[in-house]
Amino acid sequence: MELVRSKAAVLGLHWQVNVVKAEGFFGAWFAEPVAASGVIGRAAAAHAAARAAGLPVVFTRFTIPADGGLLVGNTPLMQTIAGNAAFLPDSPGSQVIAELGPEPGDRVVDNQRLSGLAGNDLADWLRVRGIDTVVLTGVATNLTVEQTARSGTDLGFHVYVLGDCVTTADPAVHEASLANLNLATRGVIDSAELLAALG
C-alpha cells in the first residue's frame, strides 16, 4: 500500500448511534451485523494507529438541523428521515459512538448527504492541508461508504476502503459493494495492511 503519512487522512463515516446501535433509528438494519462482525473494534484500532502516526481522523455524521439544512428529499431514504428529531445535531442518536471517540484533535463534520464529502467543507479542508489520500471506515458499505469513495475518487483523492472496517446489513451486498469499490477506487485493503503501512 502506497501511503505518504503527511498526505493521508482517515474518514470514519456514520459511526453514530442512529446507524450502528440497537436504539438508533437504523438499528434494526445495522446493529446486529455491526456487532457480529467486530467491525467497531477493528475500526477503533485503525483510527488509533492513524492518530499515533499523526494522520487526521475525521468523523462524518448524518444530521438534520431544525431548518432542514441541505437535505433534499429526492430519494425514499431521504424522505424517510426528513424532519425526524432523532437526527438533530444534538440528539443522542446523532452522536459518534463512545467506542470510537472522537478523541481530542479529531474533527467531526455534519452533512445532509449520503457522501461524507458532499454538502460540507471537508474536501476543501483536506486539500488545504495537502491531503490527497483518504482511508475509509464506516457503515454502511453500500451506502455512505460507497458513495463517499466514489465521490472522493471523482474529486481527485486517492481513496482506500478498509474492507474489514466497513459492513452493511446483508453480507452479499457488502461483498458486491467491496468488489465494485476495488475497481472504482485505489483499492480495498484490510486494517492489517494499514497498520503495517503506519508501523
**Coil, helix or strand at residue 87:** helix
Report which secondary-structure segment, H or E, holds 61.
strand 57-62
pLDDT of residue 144: 97
Residue 2, pLDDT > 80, answer: no
Domain count, the chain: 1
Longest dimension (CA), the chain: 45
Of 78, 75, 36, 47, which Cα lies nearest the Cα of 174?
36
Q: What is the CATH number of the domain that holds 152?
A: 3.40.50.850
Amino acid at 83: G
| pTM for this prediction | 0.95
Identify the DSSP state of 103. P
| Residue 68 pLDDT class (50, 70, 90 cuts) | confident
pLDDT per position as a tens digit, 118-150:
999 999 999 999 999 999 999 999 999 999 999
**Coil, helix or strand at residue 108:** strand
pLDDT of residue 21: 98
Contact call for residues 176 and 169 (beta carbons, < 8 A): no
pLDDT per position as a tens digit, 57-66:
999 999 999 9
- In whole angstroms, give the CA distance from residue 124 to residue 183: 25
**Coil, helix or strand at residue 167:** strand
Of 3, 123, 12, which Cα lies nearest the Cα of 60?
12
| Residue 1 pLDDT class (50, 70, 90 cuts) | low
Range of the structural domain that residue 19 is part of: 5-198
pLDDT per position as a tens digit, 3-25:
666 799 999 999 999 999 999 99
Contact call for residues 144 and 14 (beta carbons, < 8 A): yes
Q: Alpha helix locations (H) across the chain? A: 17-20, 27-37, 39-52, 76-81, 122-128, 146-154, 171-184, 191-198
Contact call for residues 166 and 137 (beta carbons, < 8 A): yes
